[in-house]
Amino acid sequence: MSSARDIGGIVFDKDGTLFDFHTTWAGWTLRLMQALSETHGVPMQRLADAVDFDLVAARISPSSPLIAATNRDCAEALAAALPGIDIDALEREMMLSSADVPLAPSVPLSPFLVGLRGRGLRLGVMTNDTEYGAHAHLRSAGVQDLFDFIAGFDSGHGAKPAPDPLLAFARAAGVAPERVVMVGDSTHDLIAGRRAGMHTIGVLTGIAAQDELAPHADVVLPDIGHIPAWLDA
pTM of structure:
0.86
Distance, CA of 2 to CA of 119 (rounded, Å) = 5
CATH number of 9-20+104-232: 3.40.50.1000
- Helices 87-98/21-40 angle, 10° precision: 140
Reported as type and span, the H/E element at residue 25 is: helix 21-40
Distance, CA of 72 to CA of 88 (rounded, Å) = 8
pLDDT along the chain (233 residues), means of 10: 76 96 88 95 96 93 83 92 94 90 93 98 96 95 98 96 98 98 97 98 94 98 98 93
Distance, CA of 1 to CA of 124 (rounded, Å) = 20
What pLDDT sits at residue 99?
86
What pLDDT sits at residue 70?
86
The residue ranges of every structural domain in the chain are 9-20+104-232, 22-98
DSSP string over 58-114: TEE-TT-TTTTS-HHHHHHHHHTTSTT--HHHHHHHHHHHHTTPPP-BSS-HHHHHH
Distance, CA of 220 to CA of 158 (rounded, Å) = 25
Reported as type and span, the H/E element at residue 31 is: helix 21-40
What pLDDT sits at residue 1?
38
CA separation (Å) from 16 to 4, 58, 88, 168?
27, 17, 26, 22
